[in-house]
Amino acid sequence: GNSVTQMEGPVTLSEEAFLTINCTYTATGYPSLFWYVQYPGEGLQLLLKATKADDKGSNKGFEATYRKETTSFHLEKGSVQVSDSAVYFCALSSGGSNYKLTFGKGTLLTVNP
């Protein structure tokens, strides 16, 4: 079956530091890959997605590249801000039931001023 493994948290960084949150996956076929972000008290928001190998998703300074050879979709940002503090979820969908998203456990990021 499908599964997503992401970096254990919590992650604590200083403002302007470089961020990497690792995500690897197991899936049948050719999945679509996602990063969702959940700010305190809010619902999950789609941050970025990639639908095929070597695609790069990007949004708000965040990037992730779909690496089929390593089955990875690591999230990166060059310079984090305090407002980036949130929980980040890696997810995938695949197969005929593409609406069934499979999520990782989430990684809590705290950015200190």
Partner 1 sequence: NAGVMQNPRHLVRRRGQEARLRCSPMKGHSHVYWYRQLPEEGLKFMVYLQKENIIDESGMPKERFSAEFPKEGPSILRIQQVVRGDSAAYFCASSPPSLAGATDTQYFGPGTRLTVL
Residues that bind partner 1 (CB under 8 A): 4, 32, 34, 36, 41-46, 49, 89, 91, 93, 97-106
The least CB distance from residue 66 to partner 1, in Å, is: 14
CA–CA gap between residue 10 and residue 87 (Å, rounded): 9
Asked if residues 16 and 80 have their Cβ atoms less than 8 Å apart, the reply is yes
Shortest distance (Å) from residue 46 CB to partner 1: 7
**Tokens 């980036």 found at:** 84
* For partner 1, the closer CB: 4 or 111: 4
Contact 12/110 with Cβ under 8 angstroms?
A: yes
Cis status, amide bond into 10, omega within 30 of 0: yes
Q: Give whichever of 61 and 95 is closer to partner 1, judged by the CB atom.
A: 95
Q: Which is nearer to partner 1, 104 or 111 (CB)?
A: 104
